[in-house]
Amino acid sequence: MARVQTLLFALLGFGRAGRILYLVLLVAAVPTLLAYFVWLPRMRFSAADEDLFRAARHGDRAGIEQALTAGARIGDASPVDGKTALFRAAVLGHADAVRLLLERGADRDARGNDGRTALEVVDVARADERDPRVAGALDRVAAALRVPEGRR
């Protein structure tokens, strides 16, 4: 590494000033990368998006409509797990909220950071569910998420 650095400094004519510049660029790169990959995605997730996710988790159709009117973007994914509001409504068994989100343009084929779609997440949750009431709710969600035969 030292030979490459020395050669680069010699080729570019930096000398001691080049080493200082190199150090400054290296020190500046770390906060820049943190800002780009950590802080910026969180800043993009607005208060309206938070409201949309909260309403989706609770199956609150009016809250979903209100958040979308306030500027929430239906396709925005959580910076934490890469999942959209559709995932939140689906895994918690809110079929009416899922249908509303789909009507408003939610992408049923969107994948979270784990590579699974909302339907795949619901299918896994359904397979583990023992409570008949919750299982029925997940079945209704799965039916809402399945693409109708005429649309394939």
Domain map (residue ranges) of the chain:
2-43, 45-151
Amino acid at position 98, single letter: V
* Closest among 121, 72, 68, 114 to 92, alpha carbons compared: 121
Question: 124 falls in which pLDDT band (50, 70, 90)?
Answer: very high
Question: 8 falls in which pLDDT band (50, 70, 90)?
Answer: low
With contact defined as beta carbons under 8 Å apart, do 126 and 135 qualify?
Answer: yes
Residue 108 in tokens: 């049923």
* Closest among 148, 108, 111, 142 to 125, alpha carbons compared: 142
Q: What percent of the chain has pLDDT over 70?
A: 80
CATH fold of 45-151 reads 1.25.40
- Angstrom distances, CA of residue 73 to CA of 22, 44, 57, 144: 41, 11, 16, 21
Question: 42 falls in which pLDDT band (50, 70, 90)?
Answer: low
